[in-house]
């Protein structure tokens, strides 16, 4: 999972506890990376980011299977992951 956002962005900052909880819950099953798009703008262009935060979910082969823009609640992410078989 890529969490594309920026430090100081209110909804991005709201995602941090969700990301920590997901990292604990899915340790060994899923890797989660935060990318500050202001610090690394090339990643935002690479993934076609038009709003932050954006969560991009990739399979083991690096193929995107789900994307969400904005604050994403923990329970909604877990439900999506279960539906995806994770």
**Distance between CA 24 and CA 55 in Å, rounded?**
17
pLDDT of 81 > 90? The answer is yes
What's the structural domain count of the chain? 1
Degrees (nearest 5) of the Cα angle 36, 7, 68? 65
**Residue 86 reports pLDDT greater than 90:** no
Q: Which residue range forms the structural domain that includes residue 78?
A: 2-83
What pLDDT is attached to residue 16? 96
DSSP 8-state symbol, 65: E
> Looking at residue 76, which CATH number applies to its domain?
3.40.30.10
Are 15 and 53 in contact by the 8 Å Cβ rule? The answer is: yes
pLDDT in tens, 9-58: 999 999 999 999 999 999 999 999 999 999 999 999 999 999 999 999 99
């Amino acid at each position: 999972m890529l969490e594309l956002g920026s430090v100081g962005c209110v909804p991005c900052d709201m995602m941090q506890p969700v990301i920590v909880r997901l990292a604990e819950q899915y340790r060994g099953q899923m890797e989660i990376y935060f990318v500050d798009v202001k610090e690394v703008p090339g990643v935002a262009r690479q993934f076609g980011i038009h709003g932050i935060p954006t969560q991009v979910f990739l399979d083991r082969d690096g193929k995107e299977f789900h994307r969400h823009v904005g604050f994403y609640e923990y329970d909604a992410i877990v439900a999506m992951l279960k539906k995806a078989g994770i």
